[in-house]
Amino acid sequence: MVEARNNDTRERILDAAERLFMAHGYEGTSMRQITGEAGVNLAAVNYHFGSKETLIQEVFRRRLDWLNEERLRVLDELEREAAGQPLKPSQIVDAFFGTMLRMAEDESRGGMTFLRLLGRTLAEPSEFIRGFLAHEYKTVVDRYKEALFKALPDVPKAEIVWRFHFMLGATSYAIAGTDALRLVTDWQIEPEDSVDRLDRLLPRLMSFLIGGLRAQLPQFPDAAVDR
Amino acid sequence: MVEARNNDTRERILDAAERLFMAHGYEGTSMRQITGEAGVNLAAVNYHFGSKETLIQEVFRRRLDWLNEERLRVLDELEREAAGQPLKPSQIVDAFFGTMLRMAEDESRGGMTFLRLLGRTLAEPSEFIRGFLAHEYKTVVDRYKEALFKALPDVPKAEIVWRFHFMLGATSYAIAGTDALRLVTDWQIEPEDSVDRLDRLLPRLMSFLIGGLRAQLPQFPDAAVDR
DNA sequence: CTATGATTCAAACGAACGTATGAATCATAG
DNA sequence: CTATGATTCATACGTTCGTTTGAATCATAG
């Protein structure tokens, strides 16, 4: 039997698709752009991946498999060291969001390009990719929710889930780097302070996330005494 | 001379476009879907708006003009009442983000549909719409940045800009309501706790944002003494 | 009523889309 | 070497895209 000898074409397609989906979105990127940038024949995508839908799923799986395993590994390690004691919220936040952001420095795992694609896609999921991402993340998210519940026993669980949601939003937007309102881009900021400098973005974002996670609990309007 | 008699068609197109762009994104929505849902002829969009690009700009302008005027009005009012004293950060955050979120209850200003569209678009701006949004927001954002600088004199300005950025991300994601990882949607949450219940989302988000804005300042790794 | 200009309409335009086809080319097993 | 099956290639398929056209219809001014 004759087996596959060359996954160079596959990798070139995945790299080009990753970059173009990041820059122009899923619907905004055509197969001809992808194969053109990858330097392969138009038919190669359908031959190797079947369809455009399975292609973008492969683009994500290639990176997310590692990320989610790493997130579980880091959380396991933290819980092992804590020996039953609840973790600090900042440890959990760093294990989830920090692990993701540090991918930006690892070019072999997609670097900033994949991170931006991920941030974009979390905010604009096509119907079919929403289900795919939710499935990919299910195990990890459940583990981290439980860890946060234990770390913050005084905070209602529903509140923690919402704040996890908000943290995810702040992070997605930060790494997507679109900066629609030119808040940061238009600002007199040193070049070394730009989004690309992860070692400055990461501490800033972490401070913000932990501040939000540990904020005072909200007062709901229907909590008034006369009701 | 004969003048325009009927802007019913225009409004029907804008309403349909607003809803469809929200649901499927800009590239993912076709002119035929829009005119089909609006119950008008296919050529009506180009006749009334010129192109798909100018159409989505009109969709935004119709709502954003009011929102941004209102944001300036509220800030003016707050500063008038404060009579020179710096405002509380929570007042500024509520004036900017609260004013936006309260649009969800005003169906005549687009309600939740427009809010979701806005949240989505802030995170996935096509190149041409990024510039448009930045221009629409310029005046407002500058005023609010200044107000935050005054309200938080001890926080470095660059830090405030970044945190504004993070707050915008958390809010965009929250109102876009995509919930890609099914964090909130998959959770055992009372129906009355869902995203649609603004009176519960708003206090929750405000607490989170203010917690993040007032968080401890970050420690940068290169702040070590031996450097 | 008639004339005028705004609006609607059915139909078509060329371009770009994702996908499929079948022959040509390639690397390796036997 | 030859045979085999994986891969590449040029080309074309059928759809759908945003936009345009020119005639038909409409409401109003004169």
Query: Whole-angstrom Cα distance, residue A27 to residue A106?
Result: 27
- Structure-model confidence comparison of residues B28 and B7, the more confident one: B28
- As a whole number of angstroms, the distance between CA B86 and CA B78 comes to 10
- Smallest CA-to-CA distance from B194 within A161, A211, A183, A199 is with A161
Q: Quick one: pLDDT at residue B191?
A: 59
Q: Which nucleotides in chain C lie closer than 7 A to a protein CB?
A: 4-12, 16-22, 27-30
Interchain CB distance below 8 Å, A214 and B211: yes
Residue B198 has pLDDT above 90, yes or no: no
**pLDDT on residue B128:** 83
Nucleotides of D under 7 A from a protein CB: 4-12, 16-22, 27-30
> Is the pLDDT at B224 greater than 60, yes or no?
no
The answer to whether B172 contacts A222, with C-beta atoms less than 8 Å apart, is: no
Ordered by where they begin, the domains of chain B are: 1-50 (1.10.10.60), 61-217 (1.10.357.10)
Separation of CA A102 and C1' D8 in angstroms?
A: 38
Provide the mean pLDDT of chain A. Answer: 90
State residue B179's pLDDT score: 78
B5 beta carbon to strand D: under 7 Å:
yes
CA–CA dist A96, A142 (Å, integer): 12
* pLDDT at position B5: 41
Within 10 A of A39 (CB to CB), how many other CB atoms are there? 11
Q: Which of B187, B184, B67 is nearest to B115 (CA)?
A: B67
- What is the distance in angstroms measured between the alpha-carbon CA of B6 and the sugar C1' of D30? 22
Residue A220: the pLDDT is 84
Query: Which residue stretches of chain A have pLDDT < 70?
Result: 1-6, 125, 187-197, 222-227
Please check whether residue A204 is in contact with residue B220, taking contact to mean a CB–CB distance below 8 angstroms.
Answer: no
DSSP letters for A114-125: HHHHHHHHHHS-
Q: Between the CA of residue B5 and those of A4, B8, B9, B62, what are the distances in Å?
A: 68, 9, 11, 19
Q: Each residue of A202-216: b (16+ CB within 10 Å) or e? A: bbbbbbbbbbbbbbe
- Residue with structure tokens 């941004």? B68
CB-based burial of residue A223 (10 Å sphere; 0-12 exposed, 13-18 middle, 19+ buried)?
exposed
Is residue B92 a contact partner of residue B140, using CB atoms and an 8 Å limit? Answer: no
Please report, for residues B99, B171, B209, the alpha-carbon distance to residue B94 in angstroms, rounded to integers and kept in the order given.
7, 12, 10
* Residue B78: count of CB within 10 angstroms of its CB: 16
Q: What are the distances in angstroms from CA B72 to CA A33, A184, B75?
A: 43, 21, 5
What pLDDT is recorded for position A5? 41
| Proportion of chain A above pLDDT 90, given as a percent | 75
Q: Which chain B residues are within 8 Å of A120, Cβ to Cβ?
A: 123-124
Q: What number of residues does chain B have?
A: 227
User: In one letter, which amino acid is A49?
Assistant: F
Task: Please say if the pLDDT value at position B67 is more than 80.
Answer: yes
CB atoms under 10 Å from CB of A30, counted, come to: 13
Query: Do residues A134 and B186 touch, judged by C-beta distance below 8 A?
Result: yes
Q: Which runs of E-coded beta strand occur in chain A?
A: none
Instruction: Supply the pLDDT for residue B127.
Output: 77
Task: Name the nearest CA neighbour of A203 among A77, A101, A96, A73.
Answer: A101
Nearest CB neighbour to A184, from listed B137, B161, B221: B161
Q: What are phi and psi of A225, to 5 degrees?
A: -70, -30
Residues 6+ away with beta carbon under 8 Å from B16: B34, B35, B37, B38
pLDDT of B122 above 50 = yes
Question: pLDDT tens digits, residue range A130-170?
Answer: 889 999 999 999 999 999 999 999 999 999 999 999 999 99
What is the rounded distance in angstroms from the CA atom of residue A147 to the CA atom of residue A129?
Answer: 27
- Mean pLDDT is highest, among A57-71, A184-198, B124-138, B185-199, for A57-71
Mutation test of the interface with chain A: which of B33, B64, B166, choosing the one with the most A Cβ atoms within 10 A?
B166
| Cα dihedral across residues B218, B224, B225, B227: positive or negative | negative
CA contacts within 13 A on the Cβ side of A174: 32
Cα of A116 vs its chain's centroid, Å: 8
Residue with the larger pLDDT of the pair B220 and A115: A115
